[in-house]
């Protein structure tokens, strides 16, 4: 009897767990639940123009690191202040809502999801398609801000789903992890670089899988579960070998991490949050793959400067 009671309790716990991906239809009935917190990461002007009832605004730039590399984690005290202002606790069900414009926008939501998970929020979801899908589905919105009581929860960031530059370098030397560059191919081949990156190219030993394949037709709607599993099985690893996703500043890689870890349920998947911008900012230049020649780098720098002058 005790055995069956235990099985029942485990089943109930799993059945009540938050789904990582919600549609407008599955989110709408949850809005009356007191533990639900809608975290709207759009800019303040967009939020003021209409948002989900009860939503709290925390624009994505508040989740970013320093100007020299947005992918680096912000100071611990800033993250604590943010979750307290949003009224979050470990028992909250935080639902992240983005604008819903494209895959990069979904990546921003996934990055916030990853940060909150690492801070200890146990129930998390992303609204598939963001606010754009909510409006398209004819759901109600409001322009009235809803105050929420601050909490005194002071979480610490867990590195469980994170890989540092030092750990990444160790993986390169030991060849003991799958290093997954999720940027478009022209980044991987060193033909293009992010403005903050000092050099184009990728990390030695890395393989490439474009993050845009994880969303539908360039939108902010995630692929279906079958397609997610197909994409995940493309990445071959030995046993429980780690998969480390990286991009330029840890946004696109958060999207792929979300798909692999949260949707497909793969273990031992982490994000290198600083990604390539952090990699090439190391005091001593780390090893590179597909780095362009000196002449090509000069041409790339000239082209980038010319584009900036014409803006």
The CA distance from 249 to 281, in Å, is 12
Cα end-to-end distance, the chain, whole Å: 72
pLDDT tens-place string over residues 185-240: 999 999 999 999 999 999 999 999 999 999 999 999 999 999 999 999 999 998 88
pLDDT above 80: residue 302: no
Does domain 18-157 correspond to CATH entry 3.40.250.10? yes
Supply the pLDDT for residue 111: 98
Please list the helix, strand and coil fractions of the chain in percent, rounded to the nearest 5, in that order.
Answer: 40, 15, 45
Q: Using a cut of 0.75, tell me whether the model's pTM lies above it.
A: yes
Say if 18-157 and 160-310 have the same CATH topology. yes
Domain boundaries, the chain: 18-157, 160-310
The CA distance from 198 to 39, in Å, is 34
Supply the pLDDT for residue 285: 86
CATH architecture entry for 160-310: 3-Layer(aba) Sandwich (3.40)
pLDDT tens-place string over residues 104-155: 999 999 999 999 999 999 999 999 999 999 999 999 999 999 999 999 999 9
């Amino acid at each position: 009897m005790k055995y069956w009671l235990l099985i029942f309790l485990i089943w109930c716990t799993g059945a009540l767990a938050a789904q990582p991906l919600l549609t407008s239809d599955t989110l709408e009935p949850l809005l009356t639940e007191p533990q639900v917190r809608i975290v709207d990461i759009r800019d303040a002007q967009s939020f003021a123009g209409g948002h989900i009832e009860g939503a709290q605004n925390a624009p994505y730039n508040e989740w970013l690191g320093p100007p020299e590399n947005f992918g680096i984690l912000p100071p611990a005290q800033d993250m604590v202040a943010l979750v307290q202002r949003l009224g979050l606790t470990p028992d909250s069900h935080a639902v992240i809502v983005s604008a819903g414009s494209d895959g990069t926008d979904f990546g921003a939501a996934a990055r916030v999801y990853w940060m909150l998970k690492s801070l200890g929020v146990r129930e998390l979801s992303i609204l598939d398609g963001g606010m754009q899908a909510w409006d398209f589905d004819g759901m109600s919105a409001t322009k009235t801000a809803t105050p929420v009581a601050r909490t005194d929860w002071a979480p610490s960031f867990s590195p469980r789903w994170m890989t540092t530059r030092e750990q990444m370098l160790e993986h390169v030397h030991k060849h003991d992890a799958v290093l997954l560059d999720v940027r478009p191919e022209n980044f991987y081949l060193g033909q293009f670089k992010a403005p903050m990156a000092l050099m184009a190219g990728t990390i030695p030993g890395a393989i490439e899988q474009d993050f845009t394949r994880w969303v539908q037709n360039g939108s902010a709607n995630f692929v279906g579960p079958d397609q997610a599993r197909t994409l995940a099985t493309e990445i071959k690893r030995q046993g429980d070998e780690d998969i480390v996703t990286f991009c330029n500043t840890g946004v696109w890689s958060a999207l792929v991490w979300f798909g692999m870890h949260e949707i497909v349920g793969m273990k031992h998947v982490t994000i290198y949050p600083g990604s390539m911008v952090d990699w090439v900012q190391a005091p001593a230049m780390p090893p590179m793959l597909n780095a362009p020649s000196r002449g090509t780098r000069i041409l790339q720098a000239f082209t980038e400067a010319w584009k900036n002058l014409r803006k």
